[in-house]
Chains A and B, each alone.
Chain A
Amino acid sequence: MSSFVAVLRRDLLVAWRGRGDLLVALAFFVIVASLFPFGVGAEPNQLRAIGPGVVWVAALLASLLALPRLFAQDHESGVLEQMLLSPEPAVSWVLAKIAAHWLATGLPLVLVAPLLGLMYDLETGAIGVLCVALLLGTPLLSLLGAIGAALTLGLRGAGSLLALLVLPLCVPVLVFGAGAVDAWLGGIGLRAHLLLLGGGSMAALALAPWACVAALRVAVE
């Protein structure tokens, strides 16, 4: 447990010291979401219809931007070796790394999303649903992304390979995340969508750290 706390504290401190990088990902999120009205035209009804989907795609791309750094820095500096030599279970510090990564890159997306919702003229209730869906879904993006980051660690062109590997896996998150808002607007209830997102996150929480540990051990060898 102490390795979980130590890694979480350190990674959050590192994220804070390098907060410029985090702001870049956040600005990327806002810019991508702002580009669509230029492309598809500024017809309010159309924007209202595509809004949730656009915010979700932008969130997915922005979370991808920060992923290669998740393990790469520690791999190059030799810290990853020391982590693997920790007498405590590796799953505990891998989970801490993913948690810190989500707090530093996923949570800010959730907090900025209402602004983008306003930009797409979503009604207040829909913005609320969008944020809850993002809150349940972004951890899943971080967990799936972490597996990809661990698998591509140390490879040539890891960044683009990572995108190829992770993006298809994120399709269900996108479908149920953006679908939740539509379901709510359509009046069919959003329970099923949110349960699926939350359940997906829970399943990934239980399985992804083990996959990461296995991939990291191979990468370090």
Chain B
Amino acid sequence: MLDVRQLACLRGDRLLFRRLDLHCAPGSLTRVAGANGMGKTSLLRLVAGLARAESGDILWRGEPIASCRDAYHAALLYLGHAPALNELLTPLENLRFACALGGDAVDDTACTAALARIGLARQIGLPCKLLSQGQRRRVGLARLYLGHTRPLWVLDEPFTALDAAAVTALAAHIDTHVAAGGAVLFTTHQDVPFQQALRTLDVEAFAP
């Protein structure tokens, strides 16, 4: 469903990668690998449509993402580096806002259930500034438990700051999404135990 063709990315004066091809079919699990600063995050941001490519095409169901932006963004769940929270709001308020912003019709009960599943049942009413790094990460990731209507997940370092049990649980959840016909594109520096077949795309192979 997602096709990346001959993509090149320029950051400042430096060409990060060029002639990068990537195809995400339904039911595919793709890990973007590469050392720090080689363009993993830049690639994910290009795919999400947050940055513009130097050259090349990104096609969603055969159409350039720039010309079907709204439909594409309704089908995409992108979680970036930062957990996208406001410090003064509670996890529940943050999650509810993120869903409303994305246009997902999700009620409070579903949000509470998602936060409970990710292990934040007791922190639901605390302002996020009181949460630890890992807990903040989880608030952002809770959207994955409400995101089954979105086929494409693009996740930048989703496993960072999580404990071992949470990593296993998240991997299992990603497996379920892939098994149900979703596509996941993510980065990580950890070894994560997936059941589904994992493809690795090394951005360094496309460095000039």
Contacts and interface: CB of A to CB of B under 8 A. Distances in A.
Contact of A17 (B82, B88, B97): B88
Given A6-B97, A7-B101, A10-B93, A85 B48 contact: yes
Q: In the complex, which of the residues B48, B49, B102 has the most CB atoms of chain A within 10 Å of its own CB atom? A: B102
B89 A85 contact: no
A41 B71 CA distance: 64
A78 B103 contact: no
B103 A87 contact: yes
A10 B86 contact: yes
A101 B183 CA distance: 39
A85 B147 CA distance: 14
A14 interface: yes
The dominant DSSP class at the B interface is: loop
Interface string B83-94: 111111100010
A3 B100 contact: yes
B52 interface: yes
B159 interface: no
A6 B50 contact: no
B133 to A, nearest CB: 14
Interface string A13-46: 1100110000000000000000000000000000
Contacts of B81: 78
Nearest to A220: B50
A84 interface: yes
Nearest to B86: A14
A88 B70 CA distance: 7
Interface residues of B, number: 29
Interface string B68-110: 0011011010101111111111000100011011110000000
Given A77-B82, A77-B85, A82 B98 contact: yes
B103 A13 contact: no
Contacts of B49: 85
Contact of B100 (A6, A13, A18): A6
B153 to A, nearest CB: 13
B101 to A, nearest CB: 5
A124 interface: no
B93 A13 contact: yes
A87 B52 CA distance: 18
B64 interface: no
A13 B78 CA distance: 25
B51 interface: yes
5 contacts: A14-B88, A77-B86, A79-B85, A82-B84, A88-B70
Given A77-B86, A85-B102, 17 more contacts: A2-B100, A5-B100, A6-B97, A10-B86, A10-B89, A14-B88, A17-B88, A77-B82, A78-B81, A78-B82, A81-B50, A82-B80, A82-B84, A82-B98, A86-B73, A86-B103, A220-B50
Interface of A: 2-3, 5-7, 10, 13-14, 17-18, 73-74, 76-79, 81-88, 93, 220-221
* Ranked 6 nearest A-B pairs via Cβ: A78-B82, A6-B100, A17-B88, A78-B84, A87-B74, A87-B73
